[in-house]
Amino acid sequence: MHKFLAIVKKEVLLLLRDKSGLAILFLMPMTLVFIMTLIQDSTFRTINEAGIPVVLVDNDKDSLGASVTFGLSNTKACSLVTQLDGKPATVESAERAVAEGRFMIGIIIPAGATQAIRANVQSLVELSLADSTMDPEDIPVLKQDSVVITIFVDPVTKKSFVNATVSALREFISQIKSKIIFTTFSEEIEKVIPGKNKSTPADIEIVKYNELYASKDKHFILPNSVQHNVPAWTIFGMFFIVVPLAGSILKEKTEGTSFRLKSLPGSYITIISGKISVYVMVCMMQFLLMICVGLFLLPMLGLPVLQLGSSHLGIIMIALSTAIAAAGFGVMIGTFATTDHQSAISGSLSIVLLSAIGGIWVPPYVMPELMQQLSAVSPLNWGLNAFYELFLRGAGLVDVWQQAFKLILFFLLTMFVAHLYNSVKKP
Amino acid sequence: MSSDVIIETINLQKKYRGSPEQAVKNISLTVFKDEIFGILGPNGAGKTTTISMLCGIFPPSSGKIIIDGFTFEENREDIKKIIGVVPQDMALYPTLTARENLSFFGHMLGLHGKELRDRINNCLQIFGLEKNADIRVSKYSGGMKRRVNLIAGILHKPKILFLDEPTVGIDVQSRNVIRDFLNELNKSGTTIIYTSHHLEEAETFCTRVAIIDNGQIITLGTPFDLIKSHGGAQSLEDVFLQITGVKLRDMNYA
């Protein structure tokens, strides 16, 4: 125990005297959380709160235009504007506004659109009700005047936003078509059977949708920049201990202390476990600091408060497993490296790559399918997913133990690889 | 193994992984208790490799090492408790003070509490470092670092002390302090195994020396006997040059 404590004390002293190492460990993730949260906040707000900015030009001035205006105004997905600079939007001004990036999408409902739909429907109804015994010359001809709705799209707009808007438009057009068809049919029936036009309103909503967030304990939080960035950059910062830890192992090799340590009584396991313990403690301090940033500092900048979910035990377990996994990775990199440059570059580069794959930079759910599958190999992703579960989906200890187990397995694997490498490289 | 023998090596061989040549070839030697045994040789002769194997840093490719009746295969921890090692490189943490370094290595050697503090203070005083004990080692001169490096290997009063070039690159004053201390240590019962390029020092310091070259012992005996047995030699350096030649020796990196 004396030896273990001596190693811990030595490592703490070495860390405290490495000012740049400490800066990397604490200031870097904090800075990243601040910057990335502020940058991504507007994007998350666009999607979650204000909706996609859309400019609408209603040249129809009839049922279709009114229905689209009403529908888009009442959906949270869009932030609808029909006036630009105090005047009703025109085709030209709307196109210009989208081109300037003021709006993601511009929708133009052409003049006479409702009228064209009515004419088409009337023709369709007449054709449907035509008597088969009628003179062929008297059989009505199906009119098909196309209604063209123009959509201007800002090139930077995500395809999913465009699809969502087009889908909403289709729904409104479909509703208005149904209404016109129903009304036209009713009128035609009235002609044949007078007094029968006592129908229910055509816009009755036959199928309703009940949209609920699936959550483990009815506790759910919509993803926002804080909920993503605080755990993401905390994990990144924790894994960045790879750089000072690998550097510390390398220094012992190059400065000769490793030689002396090998000649001393006691096992390598005692030495390495003392070192790992200190770096795990550092990781836990990083974690605590970053949680405090999410709880107290970010709200001061007008950002949402970090919501921790309900399982504090689960949070501690995942933070600890992430710290242990990061320490194992650091030991492995330090074992492989033979120069300071190698250690620093391979350490930082591998973390940047694993974090990019693992969904630290952008959340995994906005990644393409292939990258989402690839992200499953990154230990940073395991940690991040566990924090999503805990913070957003109200998960508990039993829901995230698998991720913790994977992180511990990763630690064991890295230690095994380091041991194997040492055995093979033994002179 | 005679009761006076403290180290015995039998046909010790070492071939490094990936190296075409053997670094140490069939070294068999015996070191007696209370000796100051010098292992001398040009660069790349196999001195550090031999000492590293004797300290248990890495195993020999073949052959046997017996230290105070123990072997590394069976009694690794027992051997490590009775040996002290002073490596050629400064095996210290530069950002720690001398006292912090010594405290750490003392704990690793199984010492703690008052006993450790007293030994550290005593050694710091002997080596004239007590006033600078709380200054970081990185700020020390070469001689001061060498002295701390030595103290870190003798805190636990080892039965056998391995010194790999302990006086290389230091001033005369530091060298004298170190040499005087080692003589005292030897008188108190510590056997010293010592490698050096400093042949004049070895001549006066060692009770016996082995000159090795190309991984083999070329000659072994007391400095006096070696000088006497090599015609025309006035000093150990003359013997050394007669045996190893005057050609420059560099490490073979092939």
pLDDT (tens digit per residue) in A39-57: 777 666 655 556 778 899 9
Partner-chain contact A13 B108, CB within 8 Å? no
| Model confidence at A283: pLDDT above 90 | yes
Distances (CA, A) of B6 to A331, A346, B30, B206, B210: 38, 46, 8, 16, 16
Structure tokens at A205: 């909503």
Q: How far apart are CA A379 and CA A326, in angstroms?
A: 9
DSSP A142: P
Partner-chain contact B16 A427, CB within 8 Å? yes
Give the pLDDT confidence score for residue B254 in this predicted structure: 46
pLDDT, tens digit, 9 for 90 and up, residues A227-255: 888 888 899 989 989 988 998 889 888 88
Rounded to a whole number of angstroms, the distance between the first and last alpha carbons of chain A is 31
Among partner residues B91, B96, B112, which is closest to A13 by beta-carbon distance? Answer: B96
Give the pLDDT confidence score for residue B148 in this predicted structure: 93
CATH of the domain at B238: 3.40.50.300
Q: How far apart are CA A222 and CA A217, in angstroms?
A: 15
Percent of chain A's residues with pLDDT above 70:
86
Partner-chain contact B103 A6, CB within 8 Å? yes
For the A51-192 domain, the top CATH level (class) is alpha beta
CB atoms within 10 A of CB B47: 27
Region A401-414: mean pLDDT is: 94
Q: Residues 40-59, chain B: which have Cβ within 8 Å of A?
A: 52, 55-58
Give the pLDDT confidence score for residue A208 in this predicted structure: 65
Q: How far apart are CA A380 and CA A382, in angstroms?
A: 5
Report the residue of chain A nearest B16, measured CA to CA.
Answer: A427
pLDDT, tens digit, 9 for 90 and up, residues A347-357: 889 989 988 88
Burial of B33 (0-12, 13-18, 19+ CB in 10 A): middle
Residue with tokens 């070191």: B31
- B253 within domain boundaries: no
3-class secondary structure for B132-198? HCCCEHHHCCHHHHHHHHHHHHHCCCCCEEEEECCCCCCCHHHHHHHHHHHHHHHHCCCEEEEEECC
Tell me if residue A68 falls in helix, strand or coil. Answer: helix
* CB within 8 Å of B231: residues ≥ 6 apart: none
Interface test with chain B among A252, A263, A275, A421, by most B beta carbons within 10 Å? A263
pLDDT, tens digit, 9 for 90 and up, residues A201-216: 555 566 666 666 655 5
A-chain CB neighbours of B100 within 8 Å are 10, 13
Phi, psi of A150 (to 5 degrees): -90, 135
Q: Give the gap in angstroms from C-alpha A256 to the nearest C-alpha of chain B.
A: 4
Q: pLDDT class for B173, splitting at 50, 70, 90?
A: confident
Partner-chain contact A264 B80, CB within 8 Å? yes
| Model confidence at A322: pLDDT above 90 | yes
Spell out which chain A residues touch chain B, with contact meaning CB-CB distance below 8 angstroms.
2-3, 5-7, 9-10, 13-14, 17-18, 255-257, 259-266, 425-427
Among partner residues A10, A18, A259, which is closest to B91 by beta-carbon distance? Answer: A259
Give the pLDDT confidence score for residue A217 in this predicted structure: 57
Residue with tokens 């609808």: A80
Give the pLDDT confidence score for residue B122 in this predicted structure: 92
Helix (H) or strand (E) holding A191: helix A159-192
Give the pLDDT confidence score for residue B196 in this predicted structure: 83
Among partner residues A5, A10, A263, which is closest to B93 by beta-carbon distance? Answer: A10
Phi, psi of B217 (to 5 degrees): -80, 120
Q: What is the pairing mode between strands B191-196 and B36-40?
A: parallel
Q: Give the gap in angstroms from C-alpha A260 to the nearest C-alpha of chain B.
A: 6
CB atoms within 10 A of CB B57: 20
Region B139-148: mean pLDDT is: 89
Instruction: Report how far Cα A66 is from the mean position of its chain's Cα atoms.
Output: 34
pLDDT, tens digit, 9 for 90 and up, residues B27-40: 899 999 989 999 98
Structure tokens at A58: 């209603």
By the 8 A CB rule, do B200 and B236 touch? Answer: yes
Region B55-64: mean pLDDT is: 89
Partner-chain contact A255 B57, CB within 8 Å? no
Among partner residues A3, A10, A260, which is closest to B87 by beta-carbon distance? Answer: A260
Among partner residues A257, A425, A427, which is closest to B93 by beta-carbon distance? Answer: A257
Partner-chain contact B91 A13, CB within 8 Å? no
B-chain CB neighbours of A14 within 8 Å are 93, 95-96
Q: What is the DSSP string of chain B?
A: --TTEEEEEEEEEE--TT-SS-SEEEEEEEEETT-EEEEE-STTSSHHHHHHHHTTSS--SEEEEEETTB-HHHHHHHHHHHEEEE-SS--S-TTSBHHHHHHHHHHHTT--HHHHHHHHHHHHHHTT-GGGTTSBGGGS-HHHHHHHHHHHHHTT--SEEEEESTTTT--HHHHHHHHHHHHHHHHTT-EEEEEES-HHHHHHH-SEEEEEETTEEEEEE-HHHHHHHSTT--SHHHHHHHHH-SS-------
Region A152-172: mean pLDDT is: 78
**ipTM here:** 0.85
Report the residue of chain B nearest A249, measured CA to CA.
Answer: B93
Region B200-210: mean pLDDT is: 87
| Model confidence at A331: pLDDT above 70 | yes
Q: What is the pairing mode between strands B191-196 and B24-32?
A: unpaired
Partner-chain contact A6 B55, CB within 8 Å? no
- B39 within domain boundaries: yes
Whole-structure pTM value: 0.74
Which regions of chain A carry the CATH code 3.40.1710?
Answer: 51-192
Partner-chain contact A265 B110, CB within 8 Å? yes
| Model confidence at B72: pLDDT above 90 | no
- B142 within domain boundaries: yes
Task: Say whether residue B96 is in contact with chain A using an 8 A CB cutoff.
Answer: yes
Structure tokens at A81: 């504007």
Partner-chain contact B57 A263, CB within 8 Å? yes
Domain span holding position B100: 5-244
Strands (E), A41-149: 52-58, 78-81, 83-84, 87-88, 105-109
Alpha-helical regions (H) of A255-339 = 257-263, 268-292, 298-300, 312-336
pLDDT, tens digit, 9 for 90 and up, residues A343-390: 888 888 998 998 888 888 877 767 777 888 888 889 999 998 898 888
Number of domains in chain B: 1
Summary mean pLDDT of chain B: 87
Residue with tokens 């991040």: A384
Q: How far apart are CA B44 and CA B254, in angstroms?
A: 12
Instruction: Report how far Cα A81 is from the mean position of its chain's Cα atoms.
Output: 27
Partner-chain contact A255 B56, CB within 8 Å? no
Structure tokens at A184: 């036209």
Among partner residues A2, A257, A426, which is closest to B91 by beta-carbon distance? Answer: A257
Partner-chain contact A14 B93, CB within 8 Å? yes
| Model confidence at A269: pLDDT above 70 | yes
